[in-house]
Amino acid sequence: MLFIPGERGGRYPYCHSLYIEADLKVIIDPASDRERLAELLNGPGVDTAWLSHYHEDHSMHLDLFDDREMWISKRDAPALEDLECFLDFYGMTIEKEREFWSQVMHEQFHFKTRHAARLFHKEEVIDLGGLTVEVIPTPGHTAGHCSFFFREPGVLFLGDYDLAPFGPWYGDAVSDIEATIASVKRLHSVPARVWIAAHEQGVFESDPGELWDRYLGVIDEREARLLDLLAVPRRMDEIVEARILYGKKREPGEFYDFGERSHMNKHLERLIQRGLVLSEGATYRRV
């Protein structure tokens, strides 16, 4: 088992990859380091590429493995079969954002339509030949996000539940806050000895401890700041300009404004459902 650090410390638009050299040789989330991934392909070899989910920062170098099988969850697979579907899964509805991302996906992330050779659609155990892996559905980040627990060494690949200070991403149209919370709690209960996250620190050789609670606590912090902001009625553009998610305005706006808006929409839906916020025409206010 080989941990492949992503460029920029595994920060977006890169991630850390995991290479499994068993009877079946597997690369998980090939978006780390293009040169090292190509060396693996041409050296010990790769039989199949697994994706924890469909996001571009986990599939950027999937094109290196065009002639290898690709495995992904049933719920996330359609996003890689069609770029328009990919953008729909994200929830991009503004035309200039869709145009921007269409170009970026081809030029930066080497997007090509791919059809899965195998679909993860439930919890299952796969024998790789001398190594067994539990596929753990962990929806929330995306509808079909999966994590992988390698039983014999006790290694848990968390995927994008990375325990980083930024906190969870749940801004896609197919994302869900409550499912994110449930999945993180599920992962915390797995009897692992080593935890591997797809971003930033990457490898935890002892239980991440308080990081589990701190990671989920970011959700409450975002929500509290939004409620404070809505003491005065606000339009969505004003909520975006408050930069609750990213802290400050960043470029390109087609990426960061979308992230702000999509996450605040998720929180607004949650707060409205709880009776804590009212929607009045184009504005929102705290009850």
Query: What CA–CA distance (Å, rounded) separates 175 from 168?
Result: 11
**pTM for this model (two decimals):** 0.96
- Of 184, 145, 150, 186, give the one whose Cα is nearest residue 168: 184
In degrees and rounded to multiples of 5, residue 161 shows phi and psi of -85, 75
Predicted pLDDT of residue 239: 98
Show the 3-state SS of the chain. CEEECCHHHHCCCCCCEEEEECCCEEEECCCCCHHHHHHHHHCCCCCEEECCCCCHHHHCCHHHHCCCEEEEECCCCHHHHCHHHHHHHHCCCCHHHHHHHHHHHHHCCCCCCCCCCEEECCCEEEECCCCEEEEEECCCCCCCCEEEEECCCCEEEEECCCCCCCCCCCCCCCCCHHHHHHHHHHHHCCCCCEEEECCCCCEECCCCCCHHHHHHHHHHHHHHHHHHHCCCCEEHHHHHHCCCCCCCCCCCHHHHHHHHHHHHHHHHHHHHHCCCEEEECCEEEEC
CATH fold group of domain 221-286: Arc Repressor Mutant, subunit A (1.10.10)
* Average confidence (pLDDT) over 63-72: 98
- Please compute the mean of the pLDDT values over residues 93-98 and round it to a whole number: 93
Domain borders along the chain are 2-209, 221-286
> Does the pLDDT at position 121 exceed 90?
no
Measured CA to CA, the distance from residue 7 to residue 33 in angstroms comes to: 6
From the number of C-beta atoms within 10 Å of its C-beta (0-12, 13-18, 19+), residue 233 rates as middle
- Residue 71 CA, chain-centre distance (Å), reads 16
Confidence tier at 130 by pLDDT (50, 70, 90):
confident
The residue behind tokens 């797809």 is: 198
> Per-residue pLDDT tens for 146-203?
999 999 999 999 999 999 999 999 999 999 999 999 999 999 999 999 999 999 999 9
Domain covering 2-209 in this structure, CATH number: 3.60.15.10
| Percentage of the residues of the chain whose pLDDT score is greater than 70 | 100
Q: Quick one: CA dihedral 198, 258, 263, 251, positive or negative? A: positive
Mean per-residue pLDDT for 82-100?
96
Question: Could you read off the pLDDT of 23-51 as tens digits, one per residue?
Answer: 999 999 999 999 999 999 999 999 999 99
